[in-house]
A and B are shown apart, each in its own frame.
Chain A
């Protein structure tokens, strides 16, 4: 059971890394950004490619992979996302999904469709009371906590962070102060993409990397963003760990239902008001909707 909990924390941490960027784009631009999954997958493949060249030094390959995916994220933001601001939901979804489709195909083209294994960079565990804790997973969970603290600092103390936090509340208000909101969104979008790549690379030794990995995490990450409240970064942090735990615990008792359970939680959160309204309709009580 303790292993399950640790697994839940690990998945939660990865989901948190991935969901920050998604949540910010959702909260500021009202755009469901499918292209986030593409940057994530591409970053992991960069990492796998660099790893042999840098003498299998995990952190160095990680930094290189993140650095290389930042310009790609910028191009996506500048030429796709920014042009979609203020558009209806469906066009944004189609355009970013098209980017995801092209990226996935590019990965299949360059690296092939076969899954790419990555070995555990730490490889040792600590034994406490006859339970083996893989050190690497503890490290992932701890780094998510550190990131949460760092992001809180970023959004409360740094000027870029403050501007973006204000724009999450009221975009027009910030523009009226004479600030170029787009520029700050670009910065935060690129940071969010970099964090997604970081999460992807950290996850690579646990999962297998394949071209469609971006698709799979996206669906779960949508649930994280919805449950946490769109654009609410503390909510995203909490919901990532809750849903990570849901995946781990469900997976332990009923392995095939793990992802579906996440959607059940998301549906319950989204339908909170609808259930109440439906009940009023059926019973004829309360005010008419």
Chain B
């Protein structure tokens, strides 16, 4: 696998990052309610997966939550109808997410810009409608679908610390995967397609193939947090697949800074803190969030990590020539 191989010294950096991020999340779990931190971790995986599509490939999508919802519903249905094994449910969620993403991705990656964003929104709306009323007999519509998990060996997913550790390991695995991919020659290709698609084609690459692959990868990784959500809450309702959920993901990535994965993590935690803490302390938190976003767009466009980058050179986006 020469195409996704990276230099050994970079591997060292990745492992150091993994330790730092894992430590930071464990620390969060000590200070905040464990329920929240599990929620943060699941959301962070979703934002990480979106960063590949938006931050690295430059494709703004309003339909990313579709795959999150597919993961959640598939996992829930697996738990209810097939077996209460949580690992089976996760595998099923990811598999169905991958299949749907392959089919939809094949068509949608051929559009760009606003049409790409809106076509994805359309598919997300169709998915929401299917969950809320179209497949009501299966999904139980607005009432939601409850499920329960059985213990596998010593792992009991009804126990919150176990769920937390497992979700955190999943997040670190996704981070490792995405960091490896984006540092490899494949990652350079993805970033080059963002800069100028035509020139990459002139170099002899069939860009469609890589755009499709990246779309499928990003969407499949979004199904994982969906499945984790279904296992953690033991309940799935159409709100998991609602198109407005995309706005939260986009906000999170903008707060953190797109295109460097650290920003996705920082943004996910920051956004969840804002919406959880502010919602309980300030009544007008939507007003505050709106004002914050205007300031971000007009004054601090590179997000939180963009400003940390001035002090820590390592956070800065790597130039595309580096492989």
Q: Contact: A277 with B286, CB < 8 Å? A: no
Structural contact, B133 and A94, CB atoms closer than 8 A: no
B19 an interface residue at 8 Å Cβ cutoff? no
On chain A, the number of residues with a Cβ less than 8 Å from chain B's Cβ atoms is 46
Q: Would you give the 0/1 interface string for B194-230, flagging 1 where the beta carbon is closer than 8 Å to chain A?
A: 0000000000001010000000000000000000000
Q: Are A278 and B110 closer than 8 Å at their CB atoms?
A: yes
**Are B254 and A257 touching (Cβ within 8 A)?**
no
Does A147 reach chain B (CB closer than 8 Å)?
Answer: no
- Find chain B residues with CB under 8 A from A53 CB: none
Stretch at the interface among A2-10, A101-109, A117-125, A127-135: A101-109
Cα(A50)–Cα(B287), bound, Å: 25
Query: Which chain A residue lies CB-closest to B60?
Result: A90
A67 contacts the other chain (CB 8 A): no
* Cβ-defined contact, B286 with A263, below 8 A: no
**Contact between B122 and A264, CB atoms less than 8 A apart:** yes
Residues of B within 8 A of A104 (CB): 286
Per-residue 0/1 for A261-278: is the Cβ within 8 Å of any B Cβ (1 yes, 0 no)?
Answer: 001101100110111011
Bound-complex Cα distance A91 to B122 (A):
21
| Cβ-defined contact, B110 with A89, below 8 A | no
The answer, yes or no, to whether A260 is at the interface (CB within 8 Å) is yes
Which residues between 81 and 101 of chain A lie within 8 Å of chain B, taking CB atoms?
83, 89-91, 93-95, 97-101
Question: How many chain B residues touch A (Cβ–Cβ < 8 Å)?
Answer: 44
Pairwise interchain contact B60-A89, C-beta atoms closer than 8 A = yes
CA distance A104 to B284 in the complex (A): 10
A101/B286 in contact, CB under 8 A:
yes
- A263 & B110 in contact (Cβ 8 Å cutoff): no
Is A29 interfacial (CB-CB < 8 Å)? Answer: no
Q: Are A256 and B129 in contact (CB under 8 A)?
A: yes
In the complex, which of the residues A98, A106, A274 contacts B107, with contact meaning CB atoms closer than 8 Å?
A274
Contact A271 B119 (CB under 8 A): yes
- Is A210 interfacial (CB-CB < 8 Å)? no
CB distance from B170 to the nearest CB of A (A): 27
**Contact A105 B129, beta carbon cutoff 8 Å:** no
Task: Give A265's nearest chain B residue, CB to CB.
Answer: B122
User: CA A263 – CA B293 in complex, angstroms?
Assistant: 28
Contact of A275 among B107, B129, B289 (CB under 8 A): B107
**List of B residues within 8 angstroms of A83 by Cβ:** 298
Residue of A32, A98, A278, A288 with most partner-chain B CB within 10 A: A98
Q: Could you write out 20 A-B pairs with CB less than 8 Å apart?
A: A89-B60, A89-B114, A89-B117, A91-B301, A93-B250, A95-B293, A95-B294, A98-B289, A98-B292, A99-B290, A99-B294, A106-B287, A219-B125, A219-B243, A222-B118, A223-B122, A266-B122, A267-B122, A273-B111, A274-B110
- Known: A94-B250, A263-B122, A264-B122; 6 extra A-B contacts, CB below 8 A, are A90-B60, A95-B298, A98-B291, A222-B118, A256-B129, A267-B122
Q: Residues of A at under 8 Å CB distance from B?
A: 26, 30, 32, 80, 83, 89-91, 93-95, 97-102, 104-106, 108-109, 215, 219, 222-223, 226, 230, 256-257, 259-260, 263-264, 266-267, 270-271, 273-275, 277-278, 281, 288-289
